[in-house]
Chains A and B, each alone.
Chain A
Amino acid sequence: MYRWVEHTGELELEIEGEGPEEVLAEAATALRELLGAGGAPTGPATRRIVTAQAPDRPALLAAFIEELVFLAESESLVPIGLRRVELDEGLARAEVEVARADPPHLVKAVTYHRLEFEPAEHGYRARVVLDV
């Protein structure tokens, strides 16, 4: 589950998941909403392996989202589904279904401001602020 939180200048995303993998999957779904808001995909779905590395779990979430943002900016590919997510020490690897679209609202960067990705009462909770 994810939700966009009011932020005067930027976009703040809060995510909850039963496990850390679900948090990454929800992040991809949120990016699909954000980057796919320009309309339906204009090309067939393809698969990409997205990998991210970082020294800790919150930074790993930021790095994973950055990879999705880079796909959108460099190839106009937006995520439409997540096939498989693997999380290991400092490494995330996901098989992502992507499709060509017209991303209307590109994210400049994924910030470390108030960045969180921690165990919570019912799973995991994360927060990330995107510079738009």
Chain B
Amino acid sequence: MFAALADATRRDIVTRVLQQEASVSVLARNYDMSFAAVQKHVAVLERAQLVSKERRGREQIVRGDVGTVRAAARLLGHLEELWRSRIDRLEQVLDELSGGDPSCPSSAPRPTPSS
């Protein structure tokens, strides 16, 4: 899924079709590349289940798959949790070292920049 998103054009395609479905030919007008190249990008996205494609008459309509994009968001959410917990701990260290007993500097040795 993320490999599919690693390419800037594909990310752009996903962003567009999440907002509004579009045919491959309409999408292709946005990029400086051939219709076939855009079609290939769409195929990669389709395999990653980030978009779905549907034939409507002579057009192929591409639509974003909200569920998969949400899954990507969930993964980032875990990273978010990690950082929130780090900030909590970091604050605790700040509190202890700065708010602690100033008459006891040995509990908070000043680091030397060269160490």
A, B from the same assembly: no
